[in-house]
Structure 1
Amino acid sequence: MDTLEQINCEVVACKNCILSDTRTNTVPGEGPENADIMIIGEAPGFNEDKEGKPFIGAAGRLLSRLLTNAGLTRDDVYITNTVKCRPPDNRNPLPFEMDQCKKYLERQIELIDPEIIITLGRFSFNRFFPDETIGAARGKLRKQGDQKFYPMYHPAAALRQDRFKKLLEEDMMNLRSLLKDIYISTASTSSKEESMNSGEQLSMF
C-alpha cells in the first residue's frame, strides 16, 4: 500500500522529463493523508520551486484567503499540481510533462480518497474532462465515476484580472454549501450502513 511519503520520495527522484533538468526542488504536494478535500493546481511557480511547497506565492496567499472564506484552512486540504516541477519561465505544462506526472497524481488521489477534488485552472480541469472548457464548467459539481469534482479558475488568473477574483469568491462560497450537503449525505449513508449492519447482527440471535 502506498504512503504519501513513498510517493513524495519517488517524485523527488524523478527524472522522467526535462523539467528535472531545470527545477530547484520538486513539489509533490502537502496536506493530511485523510483530507476530505483535495486541490489540484497546474504547476509550481518560482516560490514553490524555491521552497518545495505548493501554492506559497501570491496565488497561494489568495487561495488561503478563499479557503478561510469557505470556513476552511490549508490544514483541512491536500494540495498538489498536475506537474510536480516548475516549467521554465512559468510556461504552461506540456502534455508529455503532465503524462509523466499522471501516475503520481493518480496514486495520490487513490490514497487520499477525497470526498471532493477542486481543480484550479484549465490544465487541471482538462486532465479529467478533456473535452470541456473551464469557463462553462466552473462552479458546478461534476462526477466521474464515484469521484466528485469542483472546477474553479486558478487564483493566478484573479491576480491578472479582477473579474476572475469575484468569480473565485462566488465559487468558493458555493463550495461551502456543497460541502455541507456532501457531509450530510455521507453521514446519512454511514448511519444507514450502521443500521443495516446492526440489523444483520441482531438477526443472528
Structure 2
Amino acid sequence: MFELPDEIVALGMKRIEGFPVEGFVRGSGPKNPSILLIGEAPGENEAIQSIPFIGRAGDELQKSLKSIGLTREDVYMTSSVRSRPYIWKEKKMRNGEITKRKYNRPPTQQEILAHAPLLDYELKNIAPLVIVTLGNVGLQRLLGKDAKVSQLHGKVIEHSVRHLASLDGSDYLWSSEPYRIIPTYHPASVFYRPSNRDFVEKDWLEIGKYISSLEA
C-alpha cells in the first residue's frame, strides 16, 4: 500500500490553514494500481472517518468498479482537496426553530492549489495503468479550466498534466511526460442528474476495455 509521507501531509495541512475546511483524508490504495481515481474533495462522512469515497457516492463507485471486475483494493483513491470544504447554512425545522449546520460545497481554486503538492507527489510516485478523473474538479486540476467532463467523458486522453514548480509553489507548469487519462462523471452526479447514469455506465465499460487492452 502506498502512503503519503508525513512531511507532505503536514505541508498540505499548513497550506490550507485558514480556509473553511475540516478533517483530512489521505489517499488509499496500492502503488501500482489498475486505476488512480481522482475526485473532488471529502464529504462529511469521509472527513469524519478519514476514508475516501464512502457513503452513497462510495457505494455507486464500488458498483462501477465491480462492473469491470475491480474492487476498492485494486485502485488508488484520492482527490484534488483532502479536507472537507463546507459552508454554514440555516435550516428551518418543523417546529419553526432555525438551526445552522455545515453543508458540503465545491473546493475553491485556492484550496485546490493549497493541496496541489499532495496530488503532485502521488502522480510522481504511483504508477497506474490509467488515471480516471471523477467530475470536473479532478479533470480540470490536471488539464486546466477548459477541460469539461461533458465533452471528454469516456475518452482516452494522453496529455501532460499540471503540477507545481515546487512543493511550496503557487504556479502550475505542464509535466514533461504525458499521462493516460479517462474522465467520467462523479459518482454522486447520478443522484442530482439521473440521466448521467447511462453515461457513467458506458464510461466504465470503456475504462474496463481500455485496461484489458493494456494488460493483454
Q: TM-score, normalised by structure 2?
A: 0.78
Find the counterpart in structure 2 of residue 182 from structure 1: 214
Per-residue CA distance 1:10-65 (angstroms, 9 max, x = gap): 32672212466641x31111111221310000000011001001000100110001
Which is richer in helix? 1
Q: Deviations over 1:57-112 (max 9, x none)?
A: 10011000110001111110000000000001211111111111111101111111
Offset at 1:129? 1.8
Amino acid at match of 2:198: K
The residue type equivalent to 2:192 in the other structure is R
* One of 66, 75, 78 as aligned partner of 2:64: 66
Alignment check: 8 A CA contact 1:42 1:120 kept: yes
Aligned-partner Cα distance in 1 for 2:153–2:42 = 22
The counterpart of 2:118, out of the listed 92, 100, 104, is 104
Structure 1 match to 2:91: none
Match of residue 8, structure 2, among 7, 10, 26: 10
Q: Is 1:139 the counterpart of 2:154 in the alignment?
A: yes
Largest Rg, 1 or 2: 1
For residues 158-192 of structure 1, what are the alpha-carbon distances to aligned partners after superposition, in whole Å with 9 as ceiling and x for unaligned? Answer: 111211111101110111111111222xxxxxxxx
Q: Aligned AA for 1:74?
A: R
1:73/1:9 Cα in 2 relative to 1: closer, same or farther (>3 Å)?
farther
Task: Choose between structure 1 and 2: higher strand proportion.
Answer: 2
For the 8 Å contact 2:19–2:111, the answer to whether it is kept is no
Range that drifts further, 125-134 or 11-20: 11-20
Matched, 1:165 2:164: no
Counterpart in the other structure of 1:95? 109
Kept in 1, the 8 Å contact 2:20–2:85? The answer is no
- Provide the secondary structure at the position in 2 that maps to 1:109: helix
Deviation (angstroms), 1:146 = 3.0
Per the alignment, in what secondary structure is the counterpart of residue 151 of structure 2?
helix
Match for 1:113 among 122, 127, 132? Answer: 127
Kindly indicate whether the alpha-carbon contact (under 8 Å) linking 1:36 and 1:114 is maintained by their aligned counterparts in 2.
yes
The number of aligned residues is 181
Mapped contact 1:39–1:119 kept (Cα < 8 A): yes
- Structure 2 residues without counterparts, runs of 5 or longer: 87-102, 160-176
Gaps of at least 5 residues in structure 1 are: 185-205
Separation in 2, partners of 1:8, 1:32: 17
Contact persistence 2:36–2:131 (CA under 8 A): yes
Q: List 4+ stretches of structure 1 deviating above 3 A.
A: 3-6, 18-22
| 1:152 aligned residue | 184
In 2 relative to 1, CA 22–82 (structure 1 residues): closer, same or farther, beyond 3 Å? closer
62-71 vs 108-117, greater mean Cα deviation: 108-117
Give the TM-score normalised by the residue count of structure 1. Answer: 0.82
Percent identity, aligned pairs only, is: 32
8 A contact 1:115–1:147 mirrored in 2: no
